[in-house]
Amino acid sequence: MIPAHVPAPDIVVAKLRKEYRVAKREPGFAAAFRALFSRRYETVVAVDGIDFEIAAGERVGFLGPNGAGKTTTLKMLAGLLHPTSGTCTVSGFLPRERRTAFLESVTLVLGQKQQLLWDLPPVDTFELNRAIYQVPTKDFEARVRELVELLDLGDLVKKPTRELSLGERMKCELVASLIHAPRVLFLDEPTIGLDVTMQETVRKFVRAYNERHGATLVLTSHYMDDVLALCPRILVIDKGALSYDGSVEALVEKVRPDKRITARFAKPVERADLERFGAIVTHEPTRAVVSVPQAELAQRAQAMLASLPILDFEVVAAPLEEVLAELFARTRAAREETTHEAIEARAEGGA
């Protein structure tokens, strides 16, 4: 029995695996002709037996490079794809069964896809979704007012979709996806292609929706500002395998514990004058970033302040992009080493 103070998991993933059977052929007309009669196939593993749980109301970032298996995982959680093996449950439902109660409880927003009708205003799509989900008119009108107000859309929802900017369309996509008040949000690159101001607007909206309604959020994004602003916890996937589950701070501490000192100088400072303080990340005559071991941060910072003409001084952790790149390199190296050892063991056994 789960203690009362521990939220029950809203999403449970166990040994989840997805394989695709992909046809292969050589380029050229002759190869294309042969493929009509005889095809070669290979199995591609998109998701390789991952496990995790997400509590109700959590905001979790789901990160990884292109082709890591992020979108495939979200589509399995949303019921659009069936897993090859393993299980996943969302709010107690099996997504692959696509029961009405399940579909009414989730939404999947794909930043590179749209559901808005191109020649009609967004309000018509809102009304269509109201009918599909059978939302009572009174609830629908109140919900649209709330969402339009949160996103500051005003009368834009009455303009034809084709006349809206990309950012305006993305905000309307969010409204359309939330008409049925889902309790679980799967957001796949919701800020892709948006300018900095619009990205911040979408982040604030998603956070406000989560806090108002206690909705569970799973977010994928290549913009690390999205993750840092929204997700206290991250899951990192690479080559279909889960390589990290925890907080951003703990990951940075684990992978890149060094600190970055960013300094702006009153007059030009030579690179040679900075090398004794740590590893130089970037250098310009009047600005530099120096990486120093965390244990020696106070000592080296004091030495810099005492000996250099510093105007501004800031200490930050390594950027999340660099941390993830280092994590991917480590996990891939470990995977290759394990594979190499397995091959050697089989060879020795055969001998």
The DSSP call for residue 319 is P
| Axis-axis angle for helices 137-150, 122-133 (nearest 10) | 140
What is the per-residue pLDDT for 344?
65
Residue bearing tokens 């889960």: 242
Domain with CATH 3.30.70 in the chain: 257-317
Within 152-221, where are the H helices? 166-177, 196-213
Task: Please name which of 316, 327, 188 lies closest in space to residue 263, comparing C-alpha atoms.
Answer: 316
Angstrom distance (rounded) from CA 336 to CA 333: 5
How far does CA 73 lie from the centroid of its chain?
12
CB of 10 closer than 8 Å to CB of 216:
yes
Q: Is 312 left (phi over 0), alpha (psi -120 to 50) or beta?
A: beta
What is the per-residue pLDDT for 132?
93
3 state SS of 347: helix
Angstrom distance (rounded) from CA 341 to CA 347: 10
Element (H, E) at 327: helix 320-350
Domain with CATH 3.40.50.300 in the chain: 9-13+54-252
Q: Which CATH number fits domain 257-317: 3.40.390, 3.40.1710, 3.30.70, 1.10.20?
A: 3.30.70
What is the per-residue pLDDT for 3?
43
CA angle 270, 275, 277 (to 5 degrees): 115
Q: Which CATH number fits domain 9-13+54-252: 3.40.190.10, 3.40.50.300, 3.20.20.60, 1.10.4160.10?
A: 3.40.50.300
3 state SS of 215: coil
What is the per-residue pLDDT for 345?
65
Task: Please name which of 145, 215, 219 lies closest in space to residue 179, comparing C-alpha atoms.
Answer: 145
CB of 89 closer than 8 Å to CB of 98:
no
Per-residue pLDDT of the chain (351 residues; tens, 9 = 90+): 344 445 678 999 999 999 998 888 788 888 777 777 888 888 999 999 999 999 999 999 999 998 899 999 999 999 999 999 999 999 999 999 999 999 999 999 987 788 899 899 999 999 999 999 999 999 999 999 999 998 889 899 999 999 998 888 989 999 999 999 999 999 998 888 888 888 898 899 999 999 999 999 999 998 899 999 999 999 999 989 999 999 999 999 999 889 999 999 999 999 999 999 999 999 999 999 999 998 899 999 999 999 999 999 899 888 898 899 899 888 888 777 766 666 666 666 665
In 269-323, DSSP assigns E strands to: 279-284, 287-292, 310-317
- The amino acid at residue 346 is R
Angstrom distance (rounded) from CA 64 to CA 219: 11
